[in-house]
Amino acid sequence: MDFLITYGSHTGQSESIAAQLKEKCMLLGMNPRVHVLEENEKTFFIENEPLAVIIVSSTGDGDPPENAARFLRRISRRTLADDFLKNVTYALLGLGDSNYSTYQGVPRKFDEQLTKLGAKKLIPTGEADDEIGLELVVEPWIEQLLKKLCELDHIPISRLEGLTISTPLVKKEKEKKSVAEKPKLPTVMSTEDDRADSSTDRILKLAPYTYPGEISLIRGNEALSSDEALRVPIAPLTYLVTSVTHEKFEPKSVNWQNGESMPGLQGKPMDATVVGTTLLTDFDVHKPKRELVIDLNAHWDQLSYSPGDAFYFLQPNPEAEVNFILERMGLLMMADQKCHVTVAGDAKKPNAAVPGYIPPISSLRYIFTHCLDIRRAPGRPVLRVFADATSDEGEKRRLLELCSSQGMAEFTAHIRQAAVSIVDVLAAFPGVRPAPERLIEQLPRLIPRPYSVSNCYERARGRIRFVYSEMKFGVADGRRYERLGLATEWLNALRVGDQIQVMMKEPARFRFPVPPATVEAGLKMPLLMIGPGTGVSTFISFLDLLLHEKIKIGSLPAVPRKLFFGCRNFEKDFIYKDLLESYVREGILDELIACESQPAKPVPGRHCYVQEALRQRADEVWDFIQLEESRIFICGDAKAMSKDTWECFAKIVAEKKGCSDAEAKAFLLELKKANRYIEDVWA
Ligand code: NAP
């Protein structure tokens, strides 16, 4: 059966699901075509597709991915007849992150428009949430879709069983015992670096971790571990081969990740020099905050950025973790030799190709350090590969449980929510010895991490400032070594004089002045900025630009400019206090409203969270919203702060307009559309 699978992808997730789906369909004997949504009216015409599977996500801003925007505009045209899509049957999968208030906004818009134009649904729409794990919805949705497709194509449903295997329950007691005993064994993660220039600082200690007696990464619940018919996906098709030569590899001989482009990043990697690192808070606060200043050297003349823009840091994986994986594969000794990655001559995977971000010739150390994400909790296909890579029957059984349909809840709890890394899993299953090509095929691409610029271009003179917060993850829940976030761990280790690489992030709508306004127009915009914690760093770039303009032209138009900041304790983590107060003295800000959530002693009248301060000034906030050209900017945490602030504004609007909560939110959505309520929130 010939049909269309089409996707709109910002980070590559929809694209990869589309490719996986195509692979499964082909194994069943179907022949789908896969095209990106922007190929509509070029390679395909949606109105002429009797059957279309659509996979689409929303960006954090609630916009469609760039490669889906034209399609959405096309099906939203008012001039289209009500039966424009009467011949189309579709199945829709939406991807999103419920941390964002715009969760599933784009897929729902797709659904609404497709139905409105007469298209019929093949199966109910799937809404997958990255916050709890996309696979929780994606996999059952694909299963349901494949069943329906088999029915339509008269393929016996029994063929679907070829995509899963049932594992018999052999040597159950022995198996359980074998896994339960093993993880207590290793206490040192990587004993000795085998390379000639080895040094003891590469040794990574692995905290002894005793799994609790109850259900854990290595021990399933009774029902799961006694299930005699686990439904386990067949192992992903292998299609790559690696071969290591005797020649030494020179890392400078390749472009970062083979020069492969990445959505959201623009230009090429730029060399930069670290010229400053400062701890901005007390060191013993819950999340210490640090400043990093880099010099962009000669690249400075070729680029410009606006306040609100961000740069990506091309952070490598930690050396000790890379060594651990290489050692486990038995390849540490040859990790620095040239390694060729090619497609296997007998590859059965349709359209098999070496991923574009893997250089055809590099070294295993290069690939595992710079190209593959080894920190992200492994997906079920990786566990499936691990299950085939151990000779220990007990380990195999447990790994299969974790990737079985029945083990979905345990996978979510002990892999996904526990945020275990590849190293944690390998340490928990010491018999697993994966082949490098299996990991290259299955591990996701290592994505650089973005940080907002915290000073303005005109005043930076090539020296750009960033601020970041440390996130610590302790030894617990199956994590076997303490760690900071991947980028922060690397940023913390940087010293003045170090050379690093950065890339520019594609500008988003969170910019000052708000596009297409000129700087001159921006000066006249009333601003209400809300940025607790490091969220304030972006606003410092706004204020730095205003200061620059004030110095240039003598004075600024008198419009309200207020900043709401929040921290736990004024004495310990009020970052940039002096600088922010100087903006008030300079008349750049007319008010700085600081909130303290965990003061040593409560101070009467002092607000705890920014929302409290906003609520107390409800009249002022409402007057502000009505000012011509006024802009509300919110920057910071997406999980709680941005949602609570949204609710807070909704309450203020409902009260002042005398309307319902839903009407108040519709009003705020209009402000959002008009770029007057603009968020830069990070999950
Ligand atoms: P933080 O130190 O964790 O928190 C700052 C303050 O916000 C604390 O007083 C905290 O109070 C309070 N807070 C907690 N929940 C809140 C809520 N629901 N509403 C209002 N205030 C709340 O902040 P952070 O670690 O700096 O986090 C800032 C966020 O900004 C991160 O998500 C980061 O990714 C993002 N961001 C960073 C950059 C950058 O370039 N580095 C740029 C843009 C955004 P309690 O802890 O006492 O509850």
The mean per-residue pLDDT over the stretch 357-368 comes to 98
What does pLDDT average to over the chain? 90
Q: Check: CB of residue 193 under 8 Å from CB of residue 319.
A: no
Residue 587 falls within a domain, yes or no?
Answer: yes
Ligand 1: atom nearest CA of 568 is: 9
82 bridge partner residues? none
Residue 106 falls within a domain, yes or no?
Answer: yes
Instruction: Give, in order, the Cα–Cα distances in Å from 410 to each of 126, 171, 220, 416.
Output: 21, 22, 7, 9
508 within ligand 1 shell (Cβ under 6 A): no
Q: What is the pLDDT of residue 12?
A: 79
Instruction: Give, in order, the Cα–Cα distances in Å from 375 to each of 54, 467, 487, 569.
Output: 30, 22, 11, 32
Q: What is the pLDDT of residue 228?
A: 85
Question: How many angstroms separate the alpha carbon of residue 613 from the centre of ligand 1?
Answer: 16
Residue 591 falls within a domain, yes or no?
Answer: yes
339 bridge partner residues? 244, 362
538 within ligand 1 shell (Cβ under 6 A): yes
Domain boundary (110, 131, 155) is at 155
614 within ligand 1 shell (Cβ under 6 A): no
**What distance, in Å, lies between the first and last C-alpha atoms of the chain?**
41
Residue 443 falls within a domain, yes or no?
Answer: no
464 within ligand 1 shell (Cβ under 6 A): no
The mean per-residue pLDDT over the stretch 53-65 comes to 84
Q: What is the pLDDT of residue 605?
A: 77
Tokens of 434: 């994966």
pLDDT score of 313 more than 50: yes
Domain boundary (126, 155, 184) is at 155
Q: What is the dihedral of CA 372, 374, 375, 379, to 10 degrees?
A: 100
Domain boundary (127, 155, 183) is at 155
Residue 529 falls within a domain, yes or no?
Answer: yes
Q: What is the pLDDT of residues 320-340, one digit of tens each?
A: 999 999 999 999 999 999 999
Instruction: Report the predicted TM-score, pTM, of the whole model to 2 decimal places.
Output: 0.86
Domain that holds residue 140: 2-155
Query: Cα–Cα distance between 499 and 486 in angstroms, integer?
Result: 18
Tokens of 326: 């290489």
Ligand 1: atom nearest CA of 638 is: 32
Question: How many angstroms separate the alpha carbon of residue 639 from the centre of ligand 1?
Answer: 9
Per-residue confidence at 187, pLDDT binned at 50, 70, 90? Answer: very low
The mean per-residue pLDDT over the stretch 157-181 comes to 60
Q: What is the pLDDT of residue 165?
A: 59
Q: What is the pLDDT of residues 469-517, one digit of tens each?
A: 998 999 999 999 999 999 999 999 999 999 999 999 988 889 999 888 9
Tokens of 254: 């390749």
Q: Check: CB of residue 512 under 8 Å from CB of residue 542.
A: yes
185 bridge partner residues? none
Is there a cis peptide before residue 516, judged by omega within 30 degrees of 0?
yes
Question: How many domains would you assign to the chain?
Answer: 2
Neighbouring CB atoms inside 10 A of 155's CB total: 18
pLDDT score of 170 more than 90: no
pLDDT score of 622 more than 70: yes
pLDDT score of 190 more than 50: no
Per-residue confidence at 193, pLDDT binned at 50, 70, 90? Answer: very low
Residue 63 falls within a domain, yes or no?
Answer: yes
> What region does 98 belong to: left with phi over 0, alpha with psi -120 to 50, or beta?
alpha
Ligand 1: atom nearest CA of 637 is: 32
Residue position matching structure tokens 């005797």: 246
Instruction: Give, in order, the Cα–Cα distances in Å from 423 to each of 148, 446, 476.
Output: 39, 15, 14
Q: Check: CB of residue 128 under 8 Å from CB of residue 57.
A: no
Question: How many angstroms separate the alpha carbon of residue 63 from the centre of ligand 1?
Answer: 24
Query: Cα–Cα distance between 577 and 566 in angstroms, integer?
Result: 11
Q: What is the pLDDT of residue 557?
A: 95
The residue count of the chain comes to 683
Residue 598 falls within a domain, yes or no?
Answer: yes
The mean per-residue pLDDT over the stretch 6-26 comes to 88
Residue 335 falls within a domain, yes or no?
Answer: no
Q: What is the pLDDT of residue 157?
A: 85
* Amino acid sitting at position 545: L
Tokens of 435: 């082949």
**What CATH number did the domain enclosing 51 receive?**
3.40.50.360
Query: Cα–Cα distance between 8 and 74 in angstroms, integer?
Result: 14
**What CATH number did the domain enclosing 587 receive?**
3.40.50.80
Per-residue confidence at 682, pLDDT binned at 50, 70, 90? Answer: confident
Question: How many angstroms separate the alpha carbon of residue 287 from the centre of ligand 1?
Answer: 10
Q: What is the pLDDT of residue 189?
A: 44
Per-residue confidence at 200, pLDDT binned at 50, 70, 90? Answer: very low
What is the percent of the chain where pLDDT is above 90? 73
Per-residue confidence at 21, pLDDT binned at 50, 70, 90? Answer: very high
The mean per-residue pLDDT over the stretch 104-114 comes to 94
